[in-house]
Amino acid sequence: PRKNHEQVLRWYLRGNFAENLVIVGNLGWNSGKLRELLLKSIDENQGKILWLREIDDRKLKNLIQESSIGICASHVEGYDLPLREFLYHGKPVVASDIPAHRDETLNTALDLIHFFVLNDDSSFDRAITRARSSMKKKQTNLHLKTWKEAAERFADLLKNLD
């Protein structure tokens, strides 16, 4: 539920899109209602909505490269690696306007991030429209930190707490 798939599904089901909606991830906690809605939507839209679970990194990378727009609609997020992966591949992203999506490390890619207000379907529609108009693929200056770099930065932050 924190990933906000319900709002994304509601948007997709209202439209008539040539693109498929691909949702990647396993079922989270407290998701019974969402699971029912998702499975019903998949059945009713025969092949237009895909739910991929337990996919490997190579397949995920291919999906991101083949996508037209990334959607990162979470209510709450820590780092949001998928957002950064979409940006790294030059894909426009529709993102909820939450602190994790306003991280200063994303400033070099702000022209590809299209924010929307959570639970506001018209704001989501406008963000999708802006993202579609910026679909020209381009490489960004976004640097994805390695695990080593992230660990070193975290260690530095801990040292400075004294």
Q: Which residues touch 24 (CB under 8 Å, ≥6 apart)?
A: 52, 53, 55, 60, 63, 82
Mean pLDDT over all residues of the chain?
A: 88
Measured between its terminal Cα atoms, the distance across the chain in Å is 37
Locate all alpha helices (DSSP H) within the chain, ordered by sequence. Answer: 5-14, 32-44, 57-66, 81-88, 121-133, 147-159
Residue 37 CA to residue 26 CA, distance in Å, equals 15
Q: pTM for the full model?
A: 0.82
> pLDDT tens digit string along 127-144?
999 999 887 655 555 666
> 114 forms bridges with which residues in the sheet?
94
What is the residue type of 85? Answer: E
> pLDDT tens digit string along 39-78?
999 999 989 999 999 999 899 999 999 999 999 999 999 8
